[in-house]
Amino acid sequence: MRGLIWFRRDLRLADQPALSAACAECDEVIPLFVFDDPLLRSREFGAACVNFMLGSLRELAASLEARGLALQWRRGDPIEEVVRAAHDWNADVVYWNRDYEPRAIRRDQLVQQELERRGIIVKTFKDQVVFESQDIRGATGKPLQRYSAYRARWWTQWSLHKPRALPVPAALSSAKQAMRPPSRPLPSAEELGYASLVPWIEPGEQQARKQLRRFCEGPLHCYSTGRNIPSIEGTSKLSPHFRFGTISPRTAILAALHTLEKGRPGVSRPDVFLWIDELIWREFFQQILTEFPHVVSGPFRQTVALPVRERDQERDRLFQAWCEGKTGYPIVDAGMRQLRQTGWMHNRVRMIVASFLVKDLRIDWQSGEQYFMAHLLDADVGANNGNWQWCASTGTDAMRGYRIFNPALQSKKFDPEGLYIRRYVPELASVPTAKIHEPHLMPLGEQADARCRIGIDYPAPIVDHRLAREEYLALGKRERVP
Ligand SMILES: Cc1cc2nc3c(=O)[nH]c(=O)nc-3n(C[C@H](O)[C@H](O)[C@H](O)COP(=O)(O)OP(=O)(O)OC[C@H]3O[C@@H](n4cnc5c(N)ncnc54)[C@H](O)[C@@H]3O)c2cc1C
C-alpha cells in the first residue's frame, strides 16, 4: 500500500501519530509539505514565524533524507495541491494530524471530501493536544467554558488514559519511498515573500528536545517564581516548538513528570504541576476555538465588550506608539521592543502590554491580537485569541473591567532593578533604579545626569494611568456590564 503523509503543524519524527500509522500500514511512504500560498499572501503571520517554520522543515527534510525518504513540497492552495499530489503519486491513503482552527477544519473537510470522491482513504489523528474537545466534557456533555473545571476534567482523563509518547517509527528506515524525484531544496523566506532572518529561538526537533531537557533540569523546579521575571530564563521558550509541532505536548508533559520520579534533590512537585497547567491552558483555548469559532471574529461574551476609541488620528497615534514601544511606560515599551527585535515576548509582559492597550488606551483588542499574530514566533490563533480575550475581559474566565494592570507597579514587582527594561530600552540604561519604572518623575538635573531627557530622548507617558483606569471603570459602570 502507498501512503502520503501530509506534514502540517507536526514537523518532527518522534511521537508523530500520522507518521507512525503510515509507516506501520504502508510499504511505500511519501512525505509531503504544502506551502499555503493564500495564507502566506495574507501576511497574517510575520517573518519570524515563517523563518522558524522553514528552519524546522529543513531539519525535518534532513532527518527524513537520512532515512531514505525525500520530503516533497508543493506551493499553492493546499486543497488543490494535496488532492493533486495524491492523484499524481497514486496514493491509496492520505494521513494527517488534525488541526483545530476553524479555517483549517474547513480546509481539511474539503480535502477529505475530494480525496474520498476519488476513492482515496483518509486517516486523521489527534496530535497537537493531549485531549481534543470531545474528550473533555461537562456532566451534560457540553464543552466546558471555565478553565478550572476544564483543568480538573483534564487531569481525570490523564489518570484514566495514561497517555504515552510514540517512538520514532522503527519501520521508517525500511519504508520505501514510492517515487524519488530529485530532491528539491526548500524555498527560501525571500522566495515565499518574507525577509530572511535567523529565528531568535532555534527551530527544529533536535533543538526542541535540547531545550526541554535544559528546562527540566533547572528552571522547571522554580517555575512559580521564575516564570514571572522577564529578565531571566525562567520559562521553557518552547511555545514556537509547540506551534509547529517540533515537539509534542505529550512528550513535554511526560518529561516534566519524569523529573519527579527520579527523586533527585531540588525537585519541586508544585512547580512541575504549575507548568503543566500552562499546557492545559493551551489545550483549553484550542477547544474554545473549536467549539466556539465565533471567537475568531468577536468577543466570547458579547455582553462584556466595552466601547472602544473611534478610529481617528488620535487613536492611530496611540496605537503606533504602542507598536513601536514609545508609550513612556518602560515595561510596556521594553515588551513591545522585545517583540519587534526577537519575535518573542515574556508572558508576564504580554499581559501588561495587552491590558495597557485595551484598558489604558481603550483600543480594540483585535488590533493587538492582529499585531501579535504578525510579529510572534509562536503566533497561534487559539492561544493568542484566548489570551487577548482574557486580557480584554471578554473571554471565558472574564473578570469584567476589574483586571487592570498598573504598569509601574507590575514592573517594580517583576523587574525591580529594571534589568529587562534596560536591555530593550537603551535610552533608560543610566536611569537610577529608583526612577527606572517612572522615568518622567526625574527632575531635570537627574534627567541630564542619566542622559535621558523626557520628551526628547524618551517619551513622556502618552496617557495618565490613574485617569485612564478611572475612565475605564466608569465606562464599565455606565454600560452596566451584567
Ligand atoms: C496577549 C497574549 C497573547 C499570547 N499569544 C500567544 C500566541 O500567539 N502563542 C502562544 O503560544 N502563546 C501565546 N500567549 C501565551 C504565553 O504568553 C506564551 O505561550 C508563553 O509566553 C510562551 O513562553 P514559554 O514557551 O516559555 O512558556 P512556558 O511558561 O514555558 O509554558 C509552557 C507552554 O505552555 C503554553 N502556555 C503558557 N502560557 C500560556 C497561556 N497563557 N495560554 C496558552 N498557552 C500557554 C505554551 O505552549 C508554552 O510554551 C499569549 C499570551 C498573552 C497574554
Write the CATH number for 335: 1.10.579.10
Band the pLDDT of 305: cuts 50, 70, 90. low
Q: How close is the Cα of 421 to the center of ligand 1, in Å? A: 21
Nearest to 355 by CA among 376, 329, 381: 329
Domain contains 169: no
pLDDT in tens, 230-261: 999 999 999 999 999 999 999 999 999 999 98
d(Cα 420, Cα 389) in Å, to the nearest integer? 26
Nearest to 345 by CA among 334, 361, 356: 334
Domain contains 296: no
**Average pLDDT along the chain:** 94
Domain contains 187: no
Higher pLDDT, 331 or 261: 331
Are 338 and 431 contained in the same domain? yes
Atom of ligand 1 nearest to the CA of 237: 26
Best mutation site among 214, 378, 393 for ligand 1 pocket (most ligand atoms within 8 Å of CB): 378
N-to-C CA span, the chain:
59
Total domains in the chain come to 3
Residue nearest to atom 47 of ligand 1 (CA): 239
Cell numbers given for 348 = 508576564
Give percent of the chain with pLDDT exceeding 70.
Answer: 95
Are 265 and 351 contained in the same domain? no
Atom of ligand 1 nearest to the CA of 380: 8
Are 22 and 35 contained in the same domain? yes
Q: Quick one: DSSP state of residue 360?
A: I
Residue nearest to atom 51 of ligand 1 (CA): 387
d(Cα 73, Cα 58) in Å, to the nearest integer? 11
Are 135 and 122 contained in the same domain? no
**Residue 57 belongs to domain with CATH number:** 3.40.50.620
pLDDT in tens, 52-79: 999 999 999 999 988 888 999 999 999 9
Residue nearest to atom 22 of ligand 1 (CA): 239
Are 316 and 461 contained in the same domain? yes
Are 234 and 364 contained in the same domain? no
Residues in the chain, overall count = 482
Cell numbers given for 390 = 482574557
Domain contains 319: yes
pLDDT in tens, 94-106: 999 999 999 999 9
Please state, in angstroms and as integers, the Cα–Cα distance from residue 93 to each residue in 6, 76, 207, following that order: 11, 21, 31
Domain encompassing residue 210: 129-164+205-291
Are 113 and 210 contained in the same domain? no
Domain contains 188: no
Residue nearest to atom 3 of ligand 1 (CA): 384
Atom of ligand 1 nearest to the CA of 368: 1
Are 124 and 136 contained in the same domain? no
Atom of ligand 1 nearest to the CA of 243: 11
- Pocket, ligand 1, Cβ cutoff 6 A: 227, 235-239, 242-243, 278-279, 281-282, 285, 347, 350-351, 354, 372, 376, 378-380, 383-384, 387-388, 391
Q: Residues near 335 by Cβ (< 8 Å), separated by ≥ 6?
A: 230, 325, 345, 346, 349, 350, 352, 353, 424
Say yes or no to pLDDT of 482 above 60: no
- pLDDT at site 415: 98
Are 156 and 237 contained in the same domain? yes
Cell numbers given for 132 = 481534543
Query: Which amino acid would we find at residue 463?
Result: V
Domain contains 179: no
Atom of ligand 1 nearest to the CA of 346: 21
Q: For strand 28-36 and strand 2-7, is the pairing parallel, antiparallel, or unpaired? A: parallel
Are 261 and 330 contained in the same domain? no
Please state, in angstroms and as integers, the Cα–Cα distance from residue 400 to each residue in 197, 309, 395, 432, following that order: 40, 18, 9, 37
78, 109, 128 — which closes off a domain? 128
- Average pLDDT for 188-208: 97
Best mutation site among 223, 271, 282, 388 for ligand 1 pocket (most ligand atoms within 8 Å of CB): 282
Domain contains 172: no
Higher pLDDT, 60 or 170: 60
- pLDDT at site 131: 98
**Residue 226 belongs to domain with CATH number:** 1.25.40.80
Residue nearest to atom 21 of ligand 1 (CA): 347
Are 403 and 414 contained in the same domain? yes
128, 156, 182 — which closes off a domain? 128
Are 147 and 256 contained in the same domain? yes
Nearest to 347 by CA among 372, 315, 322, 381: 372
Residue nearest to atom 49 of ligand 1 (CA): 239
Domain contains 251: yes
Best mutation site among 239, 251, 331, 363 for ligand 1 pocket (most ligand atoms within 8 Å of CB): 239
